[in-house]
Structure 1
Amino acid sequence: MDSESSSNPAIVTSNMENLSISTDPLTNQFSSLNDICFELGSLQDLANRGSWRSINDKVARARALSLLEKPHDHLTYLAYNALAFTKLRRFNEAYAELETMEDLDSSRYRYETYPKVYPNRTGSMVPFCLRWLYALIPIKLGQRQEGVDRLYTLLDFVREKLKDKEIKNLCVSLNLWKKREIFVMNCIIGQHLSNKEFSVSLSLIEDLLSRDSSDPVLISKLGYIQMQIGDLEGAKRSFSQIEGLMKEGNSNGTLSETELKNLVNRNKALVYLVGKDYVSAVREYEECIERDHTDAVSINNKALCLMYLRDLSDSIKVLENALERVPTFALNETLVVNLCSMYELAYVNHSDIKRTLSNWIARVAPDDFDATCTRT
């Protein structure tokens, strides 16, 4: 099996992504997820719905009743349990789960150790998610350097796997591990950016772009960093490069046509934001929303631009309408923090309004939503 929020209004530059536990290419041999692991379909469904507490309960029950028979069943359930604890910000409990494993590369976690259970299968059965959590949890517990070191170790591990897949010419697996390399690189870049280590971040992105110069998401991230270090002209060149890819139809296929067009519009809007041309920025975001009404980044940023234009009433309406129409996409901590900040600016009785919002969130939000972001 392979498987924070500020008190000030924030401009969002990209969609938040969740890490899910995915299966390896061999899963196409099975008719359902439950053929791969005990009630895996149920675990995956709970994860998709954000029902992380239910996952913890399900794992506890399966363990108590000894329902997990095969070695990889235990590892899969451990991975979901640790991920659920992490999503719920119960990092000490996630850490304790991971500590039960000791060495991730132990022979006890390899298929060939159990030839009768896994005939003709070799390699590690440790879900990739567990290796990522092993690096992430120390960072969440305040041990940043240890976590960053582990991320670099994980990057080395992924690249070794890539070499092996290239030698064996396993195309499906190769594509999977390439995605994992980019994922880990982005995690590392994020850590360096949060510590304002811009030169390292630039070096890492340029390394990725040297291998795939047609990735619009990576080029955008390069532009965002260039903007943060004051290189506006460099950012404009990066954003123009994405426009060129779009016109030539030469992007690497990671985004749909709508997603690519919206990325171009959002990048233009960021340049307008730097120049405090909020009217033009609003126009770009409106194009995005007209094209895709679930684009939470554009919805959030349009509202902020209207606030900067001193149109608090309309900025609040933009966010409230989005929460009402597309709560699954619009309900994130950054957007809610921004809405609550607008309430505080616009209304004397903002505490009552925020309490109403908080009560609604309690009914519809997934388990991992940080309800404290309403500051009620």
Structure 2
Amino acid sequence: MGTADGGRAEKELDDEGKECEWVEKKNSMEISSLDQGKRVYNDPVDGFLRRANSREEAANLLSSLNPITPDVVTIDSIKYLASSLAWGAVLEASGSILHGDVQLDINTKLEVITFRIAAMMQTRQFDRAAEQVSAIREDMRKYFLEASDGLCENRENTYVPFELKALSVDILARKGSPKALEAFYELKDHIKIQHKACSERSDDAGVAVWRAREQLILSSLAAYHLRSQKIDAALDTVRELIRHNPDSAVYCFVLLRMLVLSGSFSAAREVLSKAAEYPNVTATEIHMHRGIVLAAEGSFDEALDEFEGAILLYSRNTAAANNAAICLLHLGRIDEAIEKLEDTIRADPIVALDEGLVFNLCTLYDLSQPDRAKAKKVVLRKLAARFGRQGFNMEAITI
């Protein structure tokens, strides 16, 4: 699918190119931050959603349900749409179920609400998501307690999805609520109790479930601390993740990126050396993170070699291409930087139309030839509207 989509994107770019050329030359520019390749935390929905191979399949599924009615839309349909990241379709389908005539049992209803709130979060409708959680408190008080996260575990044989609890806490955090930190620690303590109970009765499956939930909440808590500019608290949280997951290199790389953000480059190098010893670490991960450290230290030639090495291993590594472009800019090779990002979008627009990459490309356009930047951004907006994921933040393309 990437090849076909890339062809359509390239044709669209070429057509628009009659009035605005994509590749412009300039000597230097200020850069935005390096693309970390992975988020330094997991969204609360990352632990229970899986991405399907094709977003078009999700769109086709939604089309087959048109007009959507509660009779044909099922929770499985919503799960499929969510796994394909078709968040707009999730909102439409979940709304049709919740507001339809079919009576849902409370557990199914809570599951649908969970996906609906996740879709609102993924499409940056935080106020709307907060309103949905408030509505749950008002409409379903017999199933929920007035705790800081607004949710309880069990009432009248009702199962409240853990992800719904996690989402409610994350909403508080993103809304800047003073109750957010307390809510995080209440949920964290609850996880600790449940994990201990499973361990004492030798319930290995239960231990694994609560361990995964702990990772999710600690990751979200680390992100909250970062957004609050509490770097020391974020570092402590990630170190706790490493202690609880000694066999995983993932959190070592998260720690490395945080150390780079704090300017602790020598400590970041030490973490990189330790991470390289893990048996499941890939060459791509080493290239990416060594490049991040080198670039942060100002060694852009060497960093560029690392990012190009990652691209050789996987030609559509968007994060590596983005970072390589930033290195090229620092080396005064702005024409190559623009070409690098444009070629990445042409190759696979569905994957490459990431807000960070697009923002960097727009910045390049602004600095390379301001009088033509607007026309170029119009092209990007058209591509983002056509190929970007549902919930793509168009604010990344300011015109």
Deviation of the 1:62 alpha carbon: 1.6
Task: State the Cα distance separating 1:229 from its structure 2 match.
Answer: 3.1
| Cα distance between partner residues in 1 of 2:193 and 2:203 | 14
Distance 1:21 1:305, change over 3 A: closer
Q: Does 1:271 align with 2:288?
A: no
CA contact (8 A) 1:8 1:337 kept: no
Partner of 2:121: 86
Q: 1:296 to 1:179 in 2, by over 3 A?
A: farther
Q: Is the 8 A contact 2:308 2:324 kept in 1?
A: yes
Q: Identify the range of structure 1 (62-71 vs 79-88) with the bigger mean alpha-carbon deviation.
A: 62-71
Aligned partners of 1:155 and 1:181 also within 8 Å: yes
* Cα displacement string for residues 184-234 of structure 1 (whole angstroms, at most 9, x for unaligned residues): 111111221233322222322222323333321211222223333332221
User: Residues 292 and 213 (structure 1 numbering): CA distance in 2 closer, same or farther, change over 3 Å?
Assistant: same
Helix, strand or coil at the partner of 1:349: helix
Q: Kindly state the Cα deviation for residue 342 of structure 1 after the two structures are TM-superposed.
A: 0.8
Q: For the structure 1 residues 331 and 171, does the alpha-carbon distance in structure 2 shift closer, same or farther, using more than 3 Å as the test? A: farther
2:391 corresponding residue in structure 1: 368
Contact 1:10 1:338 in 2 (8 A): no
Residue 67 of structure 1: SS of its match in structure 2? coil
| Deviation readout 1:238-275 (Å, 9 max, x if unpaired) | 11111222xxx2x5xxxxx5xx2222112211221123
**Does residue 188 of structure 2 align to residue 150 of structure 1?**
no
Q: Distance in 2 between matches of 1:95 and 1:322?
A: 36
TM-score normalised by L of structure 1: 0.81
Q: Match for residue 353 of structure 1?
A: 376
Separation in structure 1 between the aligned mates of residue 263 and residue 344 of structure 2, nearest angstrom:
32
Tell me which residue corresponds to 1:170. Answer: 203
Q: Distance in 2 between matches of 1:213 and 1:202?
A: 16
Give 1:150 shift: 1.4
Q: What are the residue-to-residue correspondences of 1:237-316 with 2, within 5 Å?
A: 237-245=270-278, 249=279, 251=280, 260-316=282-338
Equivalent pairs: percent with the same residue? 19
Structure 1, residues 126-166: CA drift from partner, whole Å, max 9, x if none?
112211111111232232x3222212222122222211221
Matched, 1:113 2:156: yes
Alpha carbons of structure 1 residues 206 and 50: separation in structure 2 relative to 1, 3 Å: closer
Distance 1:205 1:173, change over 3 A: same
Say if 2:72 is the partner of 1:40: no
- Check 1:90–1:198 CA distance in 2 against 1; reply closer, same or farther (3 A cut): closer
Letter of the 2:135 partner, please give it.
Answer: T
Higher mean Cα deviation, 292-301 or 332-341?
292-301
By how many angstroms is 1:109 displaced? 7.8
Counterpart CA distance in 1 for 2:293 and 2:112 is: 45
Residue identity matched to 1:113: E
Residue 84 of structure 1: how far off its partner (Å): 1.6
1:66-77 matches, cutoff 5 A: 66-77=101-112
Deviation at 1:359, TM superposition (A): 0.8
Distance 1:105 1:164 in 2: 23
For 2:128 and 2:302, the matched residues in 1 are separated by: 47
Counterpart check, 1:135 vs 2:169? yes
How far, CA to CA, are the matches of 1:21 and 1:69 in structure 2? 25
- Matched with 2:266 is 233
State the distance in 2 between where 1:68 and 1:290 align. Answer: 54
The secondary structure found in structure 1 opposite 2:246 is coil
Q: 1:293 to 1:172 in 2, by over 3 A?
A: farther
Q: Which runs of 5+ in 2 are unaligned?
A: 1-29, 50-72, 146-150
Q: Is the alpha carbon distance of 1:63 and 1:223 closer, same or farther for their aligned partners in structure 2, counting shifts above 3 Å?
A: closer
Quote how far apart the aligned CAs of 1:375 are. 0.5
Matches of 2:275 and 2:153, distance apart in 1: 43
Aligned residue number for residue 21 of structure 2: none
CA RMSD of aligned residues (A): 2.5
Q: Is the 8 A contact 1:109 1:125 kept in 2?
A: no
Which residue in the other structure is 2:14 paired with? none
Report if the CA contact (8 A) 1:94-1:137 is conserved. Answer: yes
Contact 2:31 2:329 (C-alpha < 8 Å) held by counterparts: no
Letter in 1 for 2:119: A
Aligned position for 2:226: 193
Residue deviations 1:62-108, cap 9 Å, x none?
233222421111101111121222222222221121123326655x9
Partner of 1:62: 97
Q: Determine if contact 1:239/1:268 at 8 Å carries over to the other structure.
A: yes
Relative contact order, higher structure (CA 8 A, sep 6+): 2
Q: What's the CA shift for 1:58? A: 1.7
**Relative to structure 1, is the Cα distance of residues 227 and 360 closer, same or farther in structure 2, using a 3 angstrom cutoff?**
closer
- Please list every run of 5 or more consecutive structure 1 residues that lacks an aligned counterpart in the other structure: 1-6, 24-37, 115-123, 252-256
Of 154, 160, 163 in structure 2, the residue corresponding to residue 126 of structure 1 is: 160
